[in-house]
Structure formats: C-alpha cells, structure tokens
Structure 1
Amino acid sequence: MIEIAAVYGSPRRQGNSSTLLRHAVSGAREAGASVTEIVLRDLKMSPCFEIYGCKEAGRCVIKDDYGDVEELLQRIDGLMLASPIFFYTVSAHTKILMDRCNSLWVKKYWIEKRPFGQKSYPRKGLFISVGSTRGKRLFDGALLSVKYFMDALDMELWQSLVFRGIETEGQIAESPASLEAAYRAGNDLVRALADSDHPDDDHGPPNDLQ
C-alpha cells in the first residue's frame, strides 16, 4: 500500500490551508493510500541549532518530537504539505520542520556523497498554500523552499496548489472548486505514485516550478 504523510503547517487548526489539506487527504485515502496526518502546531519541535551532530549518522541529535517525524519522512512514498504564506514564505511551524530536515540533507550529500543536480526522484510531493494578497510573486519564495526541502527527501515537487486572496478563517469553504481541486490532487498523487515505475506514463499535473 502506498504510504503518504500529510503535514499541516498552519498555526490555525481550522485554517484555510488545513481545510484544503483535509480534502487532499480524503482524495488520497479514496485512492487507496495509507495517510498519516501530522499537525505541526501540536508537536514539541525545536529549531535547528546547526550543531551538526547529524554528521555522524545522518540523524538529528536533538531529542524531541522531530525524531518520529524524521522516521516517517524517510519511510513514506509521498508527502502532502500545507502552509499559509507569511512574508512570502511558509509558516514558522513549517520552516522549523524544513530546517530540522537538514539532517537528511547532510545524510544524502555529505555522508552518502550523492551528486547534486538529481533529476529523477523516487518519491513525489504535493504543496498546498494560501496567501492573503494577489501579488504575482506571492508564492515564489515558498515554492523554492519547498522544492529544495523535498530534494533532501529524494522527492520531487510534483504539484503545487496555491490560492491568492484568502485571509479570513474559513474563507476557502466559499470556493467549492478549490476544495475539489485539493481532493483531486490528493487522489491524483496516489495514482502518480502507483505509476512511478513506468516513467513513460503521464503521472498527472507537472509542478509549478519550471
């Protein structure tokens, strides 16, 4: 069975990005995947201290809830990550997770000495985000951060769903088309992962970073 982690990065439990992710989770489960949901605001997770204890074994040496998350991130087939935009990047909760995954970057590039510039990834990720303004470059910073975060996980940013002009809690519920798009993306992600052994097949929507 395909295993997916769904990571909620919003500081609001009922935030708009969280609502979208819940619909994506429903779509993924409907397609037959096992989905583990992680609410970052509920975890005790320190920022990275950059002490590089991970240079020995490629594992973070800080003892907190990140240890269980790290194990899950190394095991899953796919990832669904949702965060609102704060100052043109992801939420603080999400950024802490990304920074703690520096241990996996160290493992991949320093310990295993894999070459940079990998083009073929065995795993796939979906990023969902909302922002309150309508600026053309509103999501640029977050998308770059997520792309290279997923690279450390041997994962491609397979698709991103981003929605502008969303601010007040619950506002996304006024857009059934957005909720349906999230459900469909979760469903399609599972199908893309199931087809990943067939590189000539159409695996679904391309990511938004070209």
Structure 2
Amino acid sequence: MADLVAIYGSPRRRGNTSTLLQEAVQGAREAGAEVREFVLRDLKISPCLELYHCKKDGECSIKDDFQLVRDAILEAKGLILASPIFFYSVTAQTKILMDRFQSLWVKKYLLDKTAFGDWTPSRQGLFISAGATKGKRLFEGTLLTVKYFFDPLDMALWDSLLYRGLDEPKDVLDHPDYLEQARRSGRELVQTL
C-alpha cells in the first residue's frame, strides 16, 4: 500500500503541471512516503455512461483501468492530483476519472445513507494546477470541482498550489520558487498524514 497516490492529469507528459507534480512527489518521498503514480493519458478509462449499476452495490459495471486507480486511491492515506486548466476547468482526462467516482458517491450517500456534511475526512489531498492566463477567477470552478471530487473519497482538500501565466511546456522552470513550493508541499502533506 502506498502512502500517497499521485495523479498526472495533463495530456502533456512534460508540461508545467507535470513538472510541479514531480517536485511534490519528490518532496513526499524525501519525507519518507511511498508514492504510487498514475499518468491518466496512458490509461484506458471510459467516461461514466450512467448505466447506474452502481446503485446496486456501489460498483461501476465498466471494467477498465478505473478500478486500478480507484483501489490505489482508496488504500492510500492521501492524494496529490495535478491538472492544468483547460477552459477554466480540469482536463478531459482528469474529469473522466472524477466522473467515474460517481459510483463511490452513490455508495456513500445513497446506499450507505451518509448524511451530507455528516462525516469527518479521514484523508488529505493536495491539488496542483497551472493555467496560461492570469484571470482573477481562473481556478474558482476547478477548486469547487476538486473539493466535491474528494468528498466521496472521505478526503479533505488540504492545500492547493495554483499558478497563473504558465503556458509553454517549460515556463515553470523560470519560477524556481514555484518548484520549491511544490516540493515543500509534498513534504508537508506527508507530515500531516
């Protein structure tokens, strides 16, 4: 069992968000954590098809790489999720993964009848994101989406690292303070677990 799971949600293998996530993962490892990494672009995960098989037992009837990622996340103490901003939201790869966790939402709230807001997070998550523009509200919708994605995982959004004005794949390298902040956040997340 890994202490943390790291999810690379960028379609770019070596972009700004991926670089920031690598720094956070390195910081977590420096703090003694075992980290299991997933690159969503390399996985076969179908979008949610609203088949509602999950209303029977909380299990999604679509069998693909989702179960591998889901099981790793559920076994871990925490999660580091990274996605660049596309049209003021997470990438399609990231959103597909999030939507498949609808099966856990169904289990938690419909099958297990957990009252909304009547639970205490048992785990922590860190969200890392970079956007090309400098829009004042660039991350607002995405943060709300991430918060509600963490909910069926019994996870709280511990912190978020949000960077504006990073467009070209290596722009983040011009900001060593961002890289250090990501590494430090990876270490600190492990300490909170």
TM-score range for the pair, normalised by the shorter chain length: over 0.9
> Do residues 88 (structure 1) and 88 (structure 2) align?
yes
Separation of aligned partners in 1, 2:144 and 2:188: 22
Separation of aligned partners in 2, 1:164 and 1:119: 33
- Code of the residue aligned with 1:169 in structure 2: it is P
Unpaired runs of 5+ in structure 2? none
Corresponding residue for 1:132? 132
Moved over 6 A (4+): none
SS for the counterpart of 1:81 is strand
- Code of the residue aligned with 2:49 in structure 1: it is F
SS for the counterpart of 2:127 is strand
Corresponding residue for 1:183? 183
Residues 188 and 116 of structure 1: CA distance in aligned 2, closer, same or farther (over 3 Å): same
Separation of aligned partners in 2, 1:190 and 1:104: 25
Unpaired runs of 5+ in structure 1? 194-210
Q: In the comparison of the two structures, how many residue pairs are matched?
A: 193
Corresponding residue for 1:29? 29
Coordinate RMSD, CA, aligned: 1.1
Corresponding residue for 2:112? 112
Residue by residue over 1:139-196, the C-alpha shift from the partner in whole angstroms, topping out at 9 and shown as x without a partner, is: 0011000000001100000000000000001110111000000000000000011xxx
Separation of aligned partners in 2, 1:81 and 1:160: 9
Within 5 Å, which residues of 2 pair with 1:48-197?
48-118=48-118, 120-193=120-193
Percent of residue pairs identical = 59
- Code of the residue aligned with 2:172 in structure 1: it is I
- Code of the residue aligned with 1:28 in structure 2: it is A
Residue by residue over 1:71-129, the C-alpha shift from the partner in whole angstroms, topping out at 9 and shown as x without a partner, is: 11211110000000011110000000000010111111111111101463110000000
Pick which of 51-60 and 11-20 moved more.
Answer: 51-60
TM-score of the aligned structures, taking structure 2 as reference length: 0.97
Pick which of 114-123 and 81-90 moved more.
Answer: 114-123
Separation of aligned partners in 2, 1:187 and 1:49: 38
- Code of the residue aligned with 1:123 in structure 2: it is R
Separation of aligned partners in 1, 2:109 and 2:33: 30
Separation of aligned partners in 1, 2:107 and 2:126: 23
